Structure 1
Amino acid sequence: MQYRLDHSDLSLVLALVRGRSLARASEMLQVDVSTVFRSVRRLEAALGIALFEKSRRGYLPTGAAQALAEQAERAEQALDAARVALEQGEQVVSGTVRLTCTDAVLHSLLLPALARFMPNYPALTLELATSNEFANLSRRDADIALRLTNSPPEHLVGRCLGTVSYAVYGREEYRQPASRDPARLPWIAPDDSMPDHATVVWRRQRYPGVVPAYRCSSMLSVAQLTQAGLGVAALSDFLAGDFDGLVRLSEPLGGCDCELWLLTRPDCRALRSVQTLFEELTRTVRIGSD
């Protein structure tokens, strides 16, 4: 008969993964070292697999142990949420919500919003993933998405939180006389992973001969290189505003305005955790304001 894991097994594995030694694991579990040693050997025998490899660096977890530790952490979070629910009453919002957005949106818009309200929800856990694709939400790998798009997918529901504008930014030394050709400046741009980004389309139309000196896989990296003084870039106003030393070198770029959408799947709207996060983000995400 196949061995059935219990809570004590998961706690044992998690303690040894975290502690990397019998001594530290025994302190976490409040048992003696010999008990931890015997328990690990007994669990490995029951499962028929090795969970740890002994080395000079201590007890190194195998892939199986890492997988069990991840499940143990989730169980630990669930127990913590249950304790909070008992302490605060039935109205507490708990559970795990998976949210996806781009790294630029995470850095400049989402994190400030989360700092405003997440302390009010100690039993609510967020799993954050940065991606440029809607696929995460469509495949049910995420519950909520914050996306810059003028054409949100029809199978998702959501709200438009505002419109984002773009302009050319760089350090003060790149502020140019009217007679100087912008095409001669070193440009920093998204790489081929974002061929349809609004700034890429704009640059190819406006300066078809420009070959960027630097290409990045994210807009956050584009902004970081621009702040370092390596060149100029077309950036959203909300992102550029978070980087000291960047100045606007152009008027708003025509045809680049993009809406910020907060999106979810219809089946998620009934979940209290998702609905709570959705409403809080609607209220607290700010574009171009404090």
Structure 2
Amino acid sequence: MQYQVSHTDLTLVLALVRGRSLAKAAELLKVDVSTVFRSIRRLEASLGKALFDKSRKGYAPTGTAQALAEQAERAEQALDAAQVAVEHGDQVVSGTVRLTCTEAVLHSLLLPALAHFMPTYPALSLELATSNSFANLSRRDADVALRLTNSPPEHLVGRCLGTASYLVYGHADYRQRLAEAPASLPWIALDDSMSDHASVVWREQHLPGVVPRYRCSSMAAVAQLVGAGLGVAALADYMADSLPGVERLSDALPGCDTELWLLTRPDCRALRSVQTLFDELTPRLRAAMGE
């Protein structure tokens, strides 16, 4: 019969993954070193595979040990949430919500919003993943998506939180050159992996002769290069206004306005954890978008 992994086994593996030594694991588990050693040997024998590679640097977890440790952390979070539920009754919001957004949205919009309300929900956990597509949500690898799009997928439901405008941004010493000879500037742009992005379409239509000096795989990287003074770029207003030393060098670019949507799958919208995120994020993100 195949060995059934127990909660004790998961706790043991997690302690050794975190401690990387028998002594540290024993300290975390509040047992002696010999107990940890025997328990790991017994578990490896029962599973029929090694869980750790021992070296001078300590105990390095194998892929199996890492997978077990991840499940152990989930179990830890579930127990913590259960304890909060016992202490606070039916009003507690608990569970894990997987949220996907772009790196630029994460840093400029989502993180400041989360910092305001997440501490008041100790039993609510978030798994954040950055991606430029809706694929994660469609494959059920995520529960909620925060996306800039004017055409949200029909199979998702949600709220429009505002509209982002795009302008040319850069340091002040680029202003005159932009007015007189825009093609002479060092432009920073997205690479071919995001060829349909509004800023790329605008540049190809209005500045067809411009060859970007720098190409990046994300808008967050484009903004960082602009902030460093390396050139100019078309950036969303919500992310550029906070860049030190960076100024608006143009009016809003025509045809680039893009809506910000908070989306989920229909089967998730009734979940209390998802409803809470929608209710907490909506007013904060609308304020950040100037709505």
Q: Give TM class, smaller chain.
A: over 0.9
One-letter code of the match for 1:287?
A: A
Instruction: Give the secondary structure class of the aligned counterpart of 2:263.
Output: strand
SS of corresponding position for 1:42: helix
Is 1:158 matched up with 2:145? no
Pair 256,39 (structure 1): closer, same or farther in 2 beyond 3 Å:
same
Q: Does 1:188 align with 2:185?
A: no
Which structure 2 segments of 5+ residues have no match?
A: none
What percentage of residue pairs aligned between the two structures are identical? 76
Q: How big is the shift at 1:147? A: 0.7
Q: Which amino acid aligns with 2:107?
A: H
Q: Deviations over 1:222-270 (max 9, x none)?
A: 0000111111000000010121110011111010001111111111111
Aligned position for 1:230: 230
1:289, CA displacement in angstroms? 4.5
Deviation (angstroms), 1:7: 1.0
**Once the 2 structures are TM-superposed, how far is the Cα of residue 40 of structure 1 from its aligned partner?**
0.5
3-state SS of paired residue (1:146): strand
Whether the 8 Å contact between 1:98 and 1:141 is mirrored in structure 2 is: yes
Match of 2:260 in 1: 260
What's the secondary structure of 2:162's corresponding residue?
Answer: strand
- Which deviates the most, 261-270 or 178-187? 178-187
Contact 2:178 2:185 in 1 (8 A): no
C-alpha distance in 2, partners of 1:2/1:144? 37
Asked if 1:201 is matched to 2:206, the reply is no
The CA deviation string for residues 54-100 of structure 1, in whole angstroms up to 9 with x for no partner, is 10100111111111000100000100110111111111000000111
Q: Does 1:287 align with 2:288?
A: yes
> Is the Cα–Cα contact under 8 Å of residues 102 and 130 in structure 1 kept in the other structure?
yes
In the other structure, the counterpart of 1:250 is: 250
Q: Rate the CA distance shift 1:251–1:238 in 2: closer, same or farther, 3 A.
A: same
Q: RMSD between aligned alpha carbons? A: 1.2
Answer whether contact 1:164 1:287 (CA < 8 A) is retained. Answer: no
Answer whether contact 1:22 1:37 (CA < 8 A) is retained. Answer: yes
Moved over 6 A (4+): none
Report if aligned partners of 2:162, 2:289 keep a CA contact under 8 Å in 1: no
User: Higher helix proportion, which one?
Assistant: 2
1:45: which partner in 2? 45
How far residue 287 of structure 1 moved from its aligned partner, in angstroms, is 3.1
1:26-53 alpha-carbon deviations (Å, 9 max, x no partner): 0000000000001010111111100011
- Secondary structure (helix, strand or coil) at the match of 1:142 reads coil
Structure 2 matches for 1:41-190, cutoff 5 A? 41-176=41-176, 180-190=180-190
1:105-135 deviation per Cα after TM superposition (whole angstroms, max 9, x unaligned)? 1111111111111111100000001111011
1:239–1:9 distance in 2 versus 1, CA, 3 Å: same
- Mark the runs of 5 or more structure 1 residues left unpaired by the alignment: none
CA distance in 2, matches of 1:282, 1:50: 48
- Further displaced range: 67-76 or 178-187: 178-187
Equivalenced residue count is 290
Given the two structures, how large is their TM-score scaled by the length of structure 1?
Answer: 0.98
